[in-house]
Amino acid sequence: MEREKVLSIKNLSISFKTSAGEVNVIRGLDLSLHKGETIAIVGESGSGKSVTMKAAMGILSNNGKINSGSIDFTYYRGEEVVHQDLLKLSKKEMRKHINGKRIAMVFQDPMTSLNPTMTIGAQIMEGMIYHFKTKKKEAYEKAVELLELVGITDPEKRMKNYPHQLSGGMRQRIVIAISLACNPELLICDEPTTALDVTIQAKILELIKDIQLKTGISVIYITHDLGVVAKIADYVAVMYAGKIVERGTVDEVFYEPKHPYTWGLLSAMPDLNSTESELYTIPGSPPNLLHKMDRDAFAIRNIYALNIDLKEEPPMFKVSDTHYAATWLLHENAPKVDMPIELRKRIDTMLKGVN
Amino acid sequence: MQERKPLLTVNNLKQYFKISKKFTVKAVDGVNFEIYPGETYGLVGESGSGKSTIGRSIIRLYEPTAGEILFNGTNISGKLSAKDTKYLRTKMQMIFQDPMACLNPRKKVIDIIAQGLDIHHLYKSKEERKEKVYQILDMVGLSSEHANRYPHQFSGGQRQRIGIARALIMDPDLIIADEAISALDVSIQAQVVNLMKDIQKKTNTAFLFIAHDLSMVKYISDRIGVLHLGHLVETGTTEEIFSNPIHPYTKSLLSAIPQPDPISEKKRVALSFDYATSGIDYHKGANHLIDGTHYVLATESELATWTK
């Protein structure tokens, strides 16, 4: 099957001007997403997950500067295929043609992303009326349909509700309904379930998957919860200090992780089956990106670091056709280092449980 | 083991909030549990189940509507005498969810941590005060040079450490941690949880750990209480709850925990539990002993169907 590219980010580099100097937040990032697939971006806070997506939406804050790179977005205008570099569009053009219409975003906190003074019906219809000049009656019908799609009972009654009358999980459903109103090609979810509790989180994740099956939309999912990634994603990109350090299919990254940072992230998750008394932690803290980085950003926190890590930044090494990792450990001259024993054991028991 | 005297006993605690003449929210509706010295009791449940309210009622940020709370043999639920207040305010401490919002941005770390000491006059000289703060900072993995900085100069994990230091300096018997790690990301969560366990080993402080992340709760708690709509539906040791959940709500909670295992994760369907359609009335149920310390809130017939 031919996979159509929807979004392709090449060599993106973003910096922010601050009083302390220029901070290089994104340092040469490559990422591509195909139609109907879900890619999850994981990493610590401050690794640049959200900034990347904000750049794609053209909503970077004012002190942000894009130094280089391109974000190519492919979409259909009627029958015609359009390739567009989103970074070349002005803010006005973005709002008119892209934001909400082709790329929609779901934010973390459903209370602050909804307008408290408008009924939820009006908020769902707003985008359709603005972008497509839909007749009010049509828009109303579509809105009711959408509410049904996101699993809200009594949709017609709910249309007249205000956000404060709904619970957190319901509000996040409304936000998803709004984002789907214009049939976008791409849905960006920025930690949509972090503020919700586990049972509701499970329902929202199932909802997003369900919608993807029905509409064939592509999804970028930003999170730091690896359990969520395992459930929802087809592909995973692990970010560290403004770069992608490992990417591959979920199975590859979870069962055959190659980068020491990914090992650390996976080990830090508490395991329901283990009885170990101490949780693994990644030593140290993320690097200060104020300084130019000419070595592996993870080297100082990495117990497997080689001498070369302190001198030169590793390129992406190919593990398989879909699996890449940026660590010198994969170089042919590197000593053979395997993942920590505990993690190996944990993965083995997981794989055994399946068979 | 069973001879131990509980540190905290909560008997039939009720906390109602009167919204209007006709409408009262029953946030906590008759909850019983005990915490023993040096153990961690995990309180889990969805948002709105009353977990935080329980924590806040115990430390008396709210006035409990009814019920009895015994802390080290002292009744701390009714009107408090000056002596009891002082006892409660030193020996029970709280760690809050948002490490940025709970630290005064205009105070230096040393003053934030020493505030409790200042109020209760627990030092003789400036030197002693400084010494105490440095000791605590060291204990939570920060260094003495951090003492003269302001909260905004710290990362989220470090701020939470300051929050823990502030609670620890009073040498409390019980610390209530209200979603203390929910706002942090995975690797930092692990650091803070390890720190809390370490401290517990050293000081024998008991923790009431309130959270909705069951995998962390399992990891840190000795015993767990599952809360739903203001009722404690199931309680027992961590082992008992996780290996043999009885109540349908507990089962649905356990089934919803995401695991970092893509193959089983893709197949897993979370059980759902809806109180309105389940036909269960929490008011009718009574606590039934399953075994050991494992109790379930149920009527006789409900218990029979769940354990079948």
Task: Say if the Cβ atoms of B214 and A168 lie within 8 Å.
Answer: no
Task: Say if the Cβ atoms of A281 and B187 lie within 8 Å.
Answer: yes
At residue B118, the pLDDT reads 92
Strand order in the sheet with B92-95: B92-95, B174-178, B206-211, B40-44, B223-228, B231-237, B294-298, B286-291
Task: Say if the Cβ atoms of A272 and B218 lie within 8 Å.
Answer: yes
pLDDT per position as a tens digit, B77-133: 888 888 888 888 899 999 988 877 889 999 999 999 999 999 999 899 999 999 999
Q: Is B197 on the interface with A (CB under 8 A)?
A: yes
Domain ranges of chain B: 8-104+173-307
Q: Which residues of A145-167 are buried (b: 16+ CB within 10 A; e: fewer)?
A: ebbebbbbeebeebbebebeebe
pLDDT per position as a tens digit, A109-130: 887 889 999 999 999 999 999 9
- Residue A219 sits in the same domain as residue A254: no
Strand order in the sheet with B66-71: B24-35, B8-18, B66-71, B74-75
pLDDT per position as a tens digit, B9-63: 999 999 998 888 888 888 898 899 999 999 999 999 887 788 888 998 998 888 8
At residue B162, the pLDDT reads 92
Task: Say if the Cβ atoms of A272 and B215 lie within 8 Å.
Answer: yes
- Residue A275 sits in the same domain as residue A245: yes
Distance CA B295, CA B224 (A): 11
Q: Is B46 on the interface with A (CB under 8 A)?
A: yes
| Total beta-carbon pairs less than 8 A apart between chain A and chain B | 119
Q: Locate the chain A residue with the closest alpha carbon to B257.
A: A198
Distance CA A36, CA A219 (A): 7
Nearest CA-CA distance, residue B252 and chain A, Å = 7
Residues A27-53: what's their mean pLDDT?
A: 89
Q: Is B195 on the interface with A (CB under 8 A)?
A: no
Q: Locate the chain B residue with the closest alpha carbon to A263.
A: B187
Q: Is A301 on the interface with B (CB under 8 A)?
A: no
At residue B92, the pLDDT reads 92
Q: Locate the chain A residue with the closest alpha carbon to B266.
A: A231
Mutate which: A166, A193, A196, A199, vs B, most B CBs within 10 A: A199
Chosen domain end from A170, A200, A233: A233
At residue B172, the pLDDT reads 92
pLDDT per position as a tens digit, B229-268: 889 999 999 988 988 899 988 888 888 888 888 888 777 7
Does residue A78 surpass a pLDDT of 80? no
Residues A282-305: what's their mean pLDDT?
A: 79
Nearest to A198 among B187, B253, B273 (CB): B253
At residue A355, the pLDDT reads 55
Does residue A45 surpass a pLDDT of 80? no
At residue A141, the pLDDT reads 94
- Confidence label for A224 from pLDDT (cuts 50, 70 and 90): confident
At residue A199, the pLDDT reads 78
Does residue B196 surpass a pLDDT of 70? yes
Task: Say if the Cβ atoms of B186 and A229 lie within 8 Å.
Answer: no
H helical segments located in A257-340: 260-268
Nearest CA-CA distance, residue A198 and chain B, Å = 6
Q: What is the count of structural domains for chain A?
A: 2
Residues 240-259, chain B: which have Cβ within 8 Å of A?
242, 252-253, 255-259
Distance CA A254, CA A226 (A): 9
A139 three-state secondary structure? helix
Contacts with B255 from chain A: Cβ below 8 Å = 202
More confident residue, B19 or A322: A322
Q: Which residue has the tokens 């009326």?
A: A129
ipTM: 0.73
- Residue A198 sits in the same domain as residue A275: no
Rounded to the nearest 10 degrees, the angle between the axes of helix A168-180 and helix A136-149 is: 130
Task: Say if the Cβ atoms of A230 and B259 lie within 8 Å.
Answer: yes
Strand positions, DSSP E, chain A: 5-18, 21-34, 38-42, 64-77, 80-85, 103-106, 186-190, 218-223, 235-240, 243-249, 317-318, 324-325
At residue B2, the pLDDT reads 52
Task: Say if the Cβ atoms of A199 and B190 lie within 8 Å.
Answer: no
Residue A206 lies in domain: 5-233
Nearest to A265 among B187, B255, B268 (CB): B187
Nearest to B212 among A198, A224, A279 (CB): A198
At residue A253, the pLDDT reads 92
Chosen domain end from A233, A255, A271: A233
pLDDT per position as a tens digit, B270-303: 777 877 777 788 888 888 888 878 888 888 888 8
At residue A167, the pLDDT reads 80
Residues 184-243, chain A: which have Cβ within 8 Å of B?
196-203, 205-206, 224-231, 233
pTM (2 d.p.): 0.82
At residue A276, the pLDDT reads 62
- Residue A225 sits in the same domain as residue A250: no
At residue B1, the pLDDT reads 46
- Average model confidence (pLDDT) across chain B: 87
Strand order in the sheet with A218-223: A103-106, A186-190, A218-223, A38-42, A235-240, A243-249, A324-325, A317-318
Distance CA A241, CA A10 (A): 17
Residues A251-258: what's their mean pLDDT?
A: 92
- Confidence label for A277 from pLDDT (cuts 50, 70 and 90): low
Nearest CA-CA distance, residue B211 and chain A, Å = 9
Strand partners, A220: A39, A188
- Residue A170 sits in the same domain as residue A269: no
pLDDT > 90: what percent of chain A? Answer: 35
Q: Locate the chain B residue with the closest alpha carbon to A228.
A: B258
- Residue A174 sits in the same domain as residue A263: no
Task: Say if the Cβ atoms of B215 and A270 lie within 8 Å.
Answer: yes
Half-sphere exposure of A316 (CA within 13 A, CB side): 20
- Residue A160 sits in the same domain as residue A299: no
The CATH number of residue A343's host domain is 3.40.50.300
Chosen domain end from A180, A203, A233: A233
Task: Say if the Cβ atoms of A227 and B257 lie within 8 Å.
Answer: yes
Contacts with A273 from chain B: Cβ below 8 Å = none
Task: Say if the Cβ atoms of B258 and A167 lie within 8 Å.
Answer: no
Angle at B187 between CA B59 and CA B171, to 5 degrees: 30
Under 8 Å between Cβ of A231 and A15: no
User: In CATH, which of 3.40.190.10, 3.40.50.300, 3.30.930.10, 1.10.10.10 is domain B8-104+173-307?
Assistant: 3.40.50.300
Strand partners, A32: A8
Distant-in-sequence, close-in-space partners of B117: CB < 8 Å, separation ≥ 6: B123, B129, B132, B169, B170
At residue A354, the pLDDT reads 57
pLDDT per position as a tens digit, A231-249: 899 999 999 988 999 999 9
Nearest CA-CA distance, residue B218 and chain A, Å = 7
- Residue A166 sits in the same domain as residue A260: no
Q: Locate the chain A residue with the closest alpha carbon to B258.
A: A227
At residue A73, the pLDDT reads 93
- Residue A152 sits in the same domain as residue A279: no
More confident residue, A73 or B304: A73
Does residue A309 surpass a pLDDT of 60? yes
Angle at A147 between CA A146 and CA A152, to 5 degrees: 150
At residue A334, the pLDDT reads 84
Q: Is A320 on the interface with B (CB under 8 A)?
A: no
Q: Is B239 on the interface with A (CB under 8 A)?
A: no
Mutate which: B265, B272, B274, vs A, most A CBs within 10 A: B265
